[in-house]
Amino acid sequence: MRPPAILTRNGRSDSSLVLNAALDDGPVVVKTVYTIAPDKEAPFLKAIGQVRLSRLRTGATQWGLFKDGETPHQFVELYVVSSWEEHLRQHGERQSGTDQQYDEAADAFSDSSPETSHLIVSRCRSSTIEAPLSEVGANFR
């Protein structure tokens, strides 16, 4: 069974999701890449600060913004939610009109439409391979 669709940043159903994730699968890392011109960097950083607060308010347990070392005008937003169901709730019952305005304000500074992907944890069979998320992202806030 295909997981329930989520709405993309522009309000359409995301038909690119092909993973059959259960609602309790997680954690989920959401990755959004923004391309920001140097003259827009300062206002983008101000806008993304509001997005950060929105993500944390609606269920993210960790949030970070990173500048791509190979592509200096790209910023990568990463945040973690505990499960696929929690992420679905972020886009549904928890997101307010103000949260949507914050997303749109940050998106407006990107030269191209921001690209979002969803990384759902893959469980390894060997306990020597799988590290708890708390160890992997200890400084990821």
Q: Is the confidence at residue 41, as pLDDT, over 80?
A: yes
Query: What is the residue extent of each domain of the chain?
Result: 37-115
Give the angle subtended at the CA of 15 by the CAs of 55 and 32, to the nearest 5°.
Answer: 35
The whole-number average pLDDT for the span 52-63 is: 95
Helix axis angle, 41-57 to 97-108, nearest 10°: 150
pLDDT given at position 19: 72
| pLDDT tens per residue across span 80-118 | 999 988 888 888 888 888 899 999 999 999 999 999 999
In this prediction, residues 53-69 reach a mean pLDDT of: 95
Structural contact between residues 56 and 63, judged by C-beta atoms closer than 8 angstroms = yes
Question: 11: pLDDT confidence band, cut at 50, 70 and 90?
Answer: very low
CATH code of the domain made up of 37-115: 3.30.70.100
The rounded percent of the chain whose pLDDT value lies above 90 is: 54
> Which 8-state DSSP code applies to residue 26?
-
